[in-house]
Chain A
Amino acid sequence: MSAVVDALPLLVAAWLILAGLYGIVATRDLQHTVLCTSLVHAGAWLLLVGVGHTEGATAPVIDEDVGAGAALADPLVQALAVTDIVVGVAVTALLLACVVRIKRRYDTLDPADLDVLRG
């Protein structure tokens, strides 16, 4: 039971990554592609937080109520997750800016229409 609970966030993270990759491959809309990329990214965040958590651990914030010897969740992977979340916004904004530029230049949001050569 405990092993299943520990593995569950990792399994769901794998599912999110696979679903996002399917969305990237299957869609005909570049905006949809950007959101599915974001979903793959979210899978990575869930993976990081899931790896750092152990049963019975508390949040890595030390105050008077939490003793120095208490079991803590791994703060390293949580810091990585926070960094990754912030980077994710920048990536999404950059990709959406690319989508706007593509729409203006080629007047399409379908990646299948982007194979024309323009001299």
Chain B
Amino acid sequence: MTLARILAVLLAGVVGTAVVMTRDIVHQALVFGLFGLVLALVFLLYQAPDAALAQVVVSGLVVPLLIFVTLAELRGRSE
């Protein structure tokens, strides 16, 4: 259990760094969704199931969707 915690937290750090390093906005939205799911796993392992539930819905679905809606709005406008 402790090992799983250590690995999950370190993975969250690595994927979070990948969010900053990714340049393309579509890829970045997807990597951010992945980061949110990893963070939800971390919350679950750190005994916060309610935070994990909220995190899965929010970062796994809503935030990438918001980014894509923004992108569609901007691209539809400029073309």
Contact with A39, one of B16, B23, B71 (Cβ below 8 angstroms): B16
Q: Are B39 and A42 in contact (CB under 8 A)?
A: yes
Instruction: Let me know if B28 and A35 touch, CB within 8 A.
Output: yes
Q: For residue B10, which residues in chain A have a CB less than 8 angstroms away from its CB?
A: 8, 12
Min CB–CB distance B55 → chain A (angstroms): 6
A96–B47 contact, CB under 8 A?
no
B7 to chain A, nearest CB (A): 11
Q: Given that A42-B39, A49-B48 are contacting pairs, would A85 and B20 also be in contact in the complex, using a CB cutoff of 8 Å?
A: no
* B47 x A15 contact (CB < 8 A): no
B interface residues, tally (CB under 8 Å): 41
User: A16 to chain B: which residues have CB within 8 Å?
Assistant: 12-13, 16
Beta-carbon contact of B73 and A15 below 8 Å: no
For chain A, the count of residues having a C-beta within 8 Å of the partner chain is 47
Smallest CB-CB separation from A8: which chain B residue? Answer: B9
Q: Which residues of A have CB within 8 Å of B55?
A: 45, 85
Whether A32 lies near B28 (C-beta < 8 A) is: yes
- Chain B contact residues, CB within 8 Å of chain A: 2, 5-6, 9-10, 12-13, 16-17, 19-20, 23, 25, 28-29, 32, 35-36, 39, 42-43, 46-51, 54-55, 58-59, 62-63, 66-67, 69-71, 73-74, 77
Q: List 16 A-B contacts (CB under 8 A).
A: A8-B5, A8-B6, A9-B46, A16-B12, A32-B25, A35-B19, A39-B32, A53-B47, A57-B47, A60-B47, A78-B50, A78-B51, A82-B54, A85-B55, A100-B70, A109-B74
